[in-house]
Amino acid sequence: MADRYVTKHPNGWAVKAAGAQRASSVHSTQRSAEQAAKQTVRNLGGGEVRIQGRDGRWRDSDTVAPGNDPMPPRDKKH
């Protein structure tokens, strides 16, 4: 599992690995950070992407399947 977290950053929104001190990448919008996190998780074989809101509380979590999964989950959130 390759979980990633989208968190508030002084320069926008950061994508971080679980337990990491530094961000993998920093984005100007939360949407672009979320898309980057999902692509990274997909490329690494699937896992969870957790998204932090502006208030610092976790607002969403998405399970991402592997990029070549022949039987993707039925989760319809985007």
Pick the closest to residue 24 from 55, 33, 32 (CA basis).
33
Domain membership of residue 78 (yes or no) is no
Average per-residue pLDDT for the chain: 88
Q: How confident is the model at residue 2 (pLDDT cuts 50, 70, 90)?
A: confident
Segments forming the whole domain that contains residue 15? 4-64
- Per-residue pLDDT reduced to its tens digit, 20-34: 999 999 999 999 999
Residue 76's pLDDT is what?
A: 65
Count the domains in the chain.
1
Domain membership of residue 30 (yes or no) is yes
Query: Rounded to 10 degrees, what is the CA torsion of 50, 4, 32, 66?
Result: -100
